Amino acid sequence: MEPIVVGMTGPAVEDVQTRLVGLGFSIDKRELEEQSFGASTASAVRSFRAEQGLPELEDIDMPAWSMLVDASYKLGDRTLYLRLPNFHGADVAELQQALNTLGFACGVVDGYFGPHTEAALQEFQENVGLFADGMAFQDTFSYIARLRHVWDGKPSVVEAVTHARMGLARAASVLEQVRVAVGGEDPISRNVASRMWNIASATTINSGMVLFNGTAPEDVDFIIDIASRSLPDDAEPQATIVLSEVSNLAQRIQTAYAAAKVPPARLRLEISGMANSGSFTANDAQMLALKLLDGVCDALSA
């Protein structure tokens, strides 16, 4: 492309000005009305180039134009998925920031939609009950937007951290304030669910956790279905956490709970790969129940 330089007028200048103003740069009203590349537009271009690490010139050449377009993308402007060349831009960086902060580590926020970003996106989609295809359409953007209060302005966590015990007093406070129904789909998972309920009841006499078998009660805040088998391939997508694949359980539960469209929130906790009927002991069930209850209480304490 031919550089866009001081003195030019017309649609190309208007496009540059619109993008710069959208990024927060100030341009004189008269220049905007006349679509003219004047002194204030030149000043905005210099500032933008400096921010991008380009030579502080007053023209929009091909490198500056490419960076200006990338910086102008807002999350939701376009469908994002893994392709070659990779999608890149501010919208990808915002998606990466959200995923990292929500507990779905995709690596350094570099604005490039690569395989790590795709994998993190698939985990997020599964976690909130979307079809986990790794493609960011409007349904995915809607969930990201609904969770903005959770991730916006928070530091991006590149590496998932291991879960730490939250403490008896805080757990009791959560169990007294949030009504949680827990149940199991099969004998092993029902054993774990029953132990979660027992531990919750022992933690505080005023525990709001209830145990169900079959149909879950609707007069609760959160329904947790525990399963020792994987969800069938032909089943409808459900908000799911595969326990063997996560190290930041509380953060994942918090995301699923906050993403629920209507109450009660519902989450499938899959313990497949951790609960084998031939080797799963009572002690295993107790330790797993404690881990799950601790993760739930930690997540709901935020």
Q: What is the pLDDT of residue 35?
A: 94
Neighbouring CB atoms inside 10 A of 176's CB total: 14
Sheet containing 209-212: give its strands across.
209-212, 180-184, 222-227, 265-270, 240-242
What length does the chain have? 302
- List the domain boundaries for the chain: 11-72, 90-151, 168-300
Helices (H) and strands (E) in the chain — how many of each?
12, 5
Topology annotation, domain 168-300? Rossmann fold (3.40.50)
Dig out the tokens for 155 from the structure.
Answer: 């530091």
CB 54 within 8 A of CB 67: yes
Q: What is the pLDDT of residue 276?
A: 60
Contacts for 176 with CB less than 8 Å, ≥ 6 apart:
204, 206, 207, 208
The values of phi and psi at residue 9, to 5°, are: -135, 165
CB 244 within 8 A of CB 286: no
Q: pTM (2 decimals)?
A: 0.67
Same-fold call for 90-151 versus 168-300: no
Dig out the tokens for 195 from the structure.
Answer: 């132990």
Topology annotation, domain 11-72? Muramoyl-pentapeptide Carboxypeptidase; domain 1 (1.10.101)
Q: What is the pLDDT of residue 219?
A: 95
CB 236 within 8 A of CB 126: no
**How many whole angstroms separate alpha carbon 115 and alpha carbon 81?**
9
Helix (H, G, I), strand (E, B) or coil at 266: strand
**How many whole angstroms separate alpha carbon 110 and alpha carbon 92?**
8
Select from 198, 287, 183, 294 the least CA-distant residue to 228: 183
Sign of the dihedral defined by the CA atoms of residues 22, 24, 26, 29, in that order? positive
DSSP per-residue letters across 181-204: EEEESSHHHHHHHHHHHHHHHHH-
Q: What is the pLDDT along the chain (302 residues), one digit of tens a residue?
A: 789 999 999 999 999 999 999 889 999 999 999 999 999 999 999 999 998 899 989 899 999 998 999 999 999 999 999 988 889 999 999 999 999 999 888 888 889 898 888 988 998 999 999 998 899 999 999 999 999 998 988 776 654 444 445 556 778 889 999 999 999 999 999 999 999 999 888 888 899 999 999 899 999 999 999 998 888 888 889 999 999 888 889 999 999 999 998 899 999 999 977 666 567 777 788 888 888 998 999 899 86
Dig out the tokens for 194 from the structure.
Answer: 């029953």
Q: Is the domain covering 90-151 a CATH 3.40.50.720 domain?
A: no
Element (H, E) at 91: helix 90-102
